[in-house]
A and B are shown apart, each in its own frame.
Chain A
Amino acid sequence: MKEIFDIILTSLQVSLSSTMIAAVFAVPFGLYLGLSTKKTALRLRPVFSSLAGLPPVLAGITVFLLLSNAGPLGSLRLLYSKPAIVTAQVLIVFPLIVASVYPLVLPIKAVFLETCFGLNIPKKKQIRYLFSELRYGLLAAVLLGFGRAMAEVGAVMMVGGNIRYKTRVMTTAIVLETNQGNYSTALTLGIALLLISFSINWLVHGLFKEVSHDPLY
């Protein structure tokens, strides 16, 4: 039982860390992509939408090659550690959050910017208004990223190594326990993962329900 809790804790630890790191950069970048009219930004939008569906093993092998002994960051000796898992998850979650954030801006962009310009609202205040305006959508985007990080198997296995009491997370543990025939443990972990996933979705659903003031919906 202690081991299961340790696995759950490790999962939450790495997934929360990677989501927070990715969100800190992805949310402002996504807002910038949505607001900007520069050609580069317009070209980057479909790139990030495509990267949102990045095969996790690709992120895994990239981090693996970077952190392996022969790789450029090999001297840091981070392979098969929690930071390695976090790095791989950041690579997976970052484009997903960016791709979820920039479309939030597009429907209100023109009217919002024209209103702010007309009222001579300074840039800093505009950003504050925008965060306030899109807070539910932004939170949903971050939670989506968290869910993605929690569910990740391939990349985590590749760079984390599934080491007991060190880098074993729920998904990799489920794979291992299933392969070893320990179906009850695998199932317990699966149910725990499902409950966490449901909790996240209920939270998002609850937040969106709060947004709607239309009596018809």
Chain B
Amino acid sequence: MIHCTDLSILINNKQLLSTESLTFEGGMIHIIQGENGCGKSSLFRSMIGWMPFSSGHCQILGTWIYQPQQFHLFAPKVADNFVNIELAHQMLISLKAESILSQSVKSLSGGERQKVALIRTLCEEADVYLLDEPTSYMDESSRLLAYYLMKEHLLDRGKTVLMINHEVITQPFDSGRLYLFKDSKLNVVHTW
């Protein structure tokens, strides 16, 4: 669970976020949407302490893992990115991308890179997962497979997942909340 109080993010004199109280409950997915540059990524960065809040504070209960929108893959081989190769291989099979495990990182396409990054994140054990546009470069069928993989490995095990995503997707997830980041406010627009 994540609980934030009196949050305010100010970058270059621009108020990105100003909210009194925010709680992200565990065991469900929280999908955050909003226009480009509205501050979604900054919110995630601030939550984990990579970037300071202008005011207020945020408390993440338990351990966390964060996948940034622009991520780095460790070279030279795809396999170098995983500690648990066996688990990663199983997940890659789920995404129908098992052949990339033996490939060089530099030979991957944008979508394949995202698959590797997502699986690397999912392989890590934590209570809270913050994923910043983890499937934006994937094709439609791969995206759906990725969502089911997230459900199986995270949500079915009671993890809290916060995901920035431009696609409205509820089908694979049993329960969740859809937020809209607009005018420096984060509002719940749909709960299921």
Interface residues of A (CB under 8 A from B): 108, 111-112, 114-120, 129, 132-133, 211-214
Counting chain B CB atoms within 10 Å of each CB, the highest count among A108, A114, A118 belongs to A118
New contact pairs (11) apart from A111-B71, A117-B48, A213-B107, CB-CB < 8 Å: A114-B68, A114-B70, A114-B72, A115-B71, A116-B72, A118-B65, A118-B130, A120-B63, A129-B74, A132-B74, A133-B75
Within 8 A of A (CB), among B98-112: 104, 106-107
Interface residues of B (CB under 8 A from A): 45, 48, 50, 63, 65-68, 70-72, 74-76, 80, 104, 106-107, 120-121, 124, 130
**Contact, CB under 8 Å: B104 / A213:** yes
With the chains together, A115 CA to B121 CA distance in Å? 10
A-B CB proximity, top 9 nearest = A118-B66, A213-B106, A115-B72, A213-B107, A112-B72, A111-B72, A114-B68, A115-B71, A129-B74
Q: Tell me what chain A mostly uses at the interface: helix, strand, loop, or mixed.
A: helix
With the chains together, A129 CA to B66 CA distance in Å? 18
**Contact, CB under 8 Å: B50 / A117:** yes
B48's partner among A112, A118, A211, A214 (CB-CB below 8 A) is A118
With the chains together, A214 CA to B107 CA distance in Å? 7
Closest residue of chain A to B66, judged by CB?
A118
Collect the chain B residues with CB atoms within 8 Å of residue A211's CB: 106
**Contact, CB under 8 Å: B68 / A118:** yes
Collect the chain B residues with CB atoms within 8 Å of residue A133's CB: 74-75
**Contact, CB under 8 Å: B50 / A119:** no
**Contact, CB under 8 Å: B65 / A114:** no
Contacts A/B (CB < 8 Å), 26 sampled? A111-B68, A111-B70, A111-B71, A114-B50, A114-B68, A114-B70, A114-B71, A115-B71, A115-B72, A116-B72, A118-B48, A118-B50, A118-B65, A118-B67, A118-B68, A119-B65, A119-B120, A119-B121, A119-B124, A120-B63, A120-B124, A132-B74, A132-B80, A133-B74, A213-B104, A213-B106
With the chains together, A211 CA to B66 CA distance in Å? 29
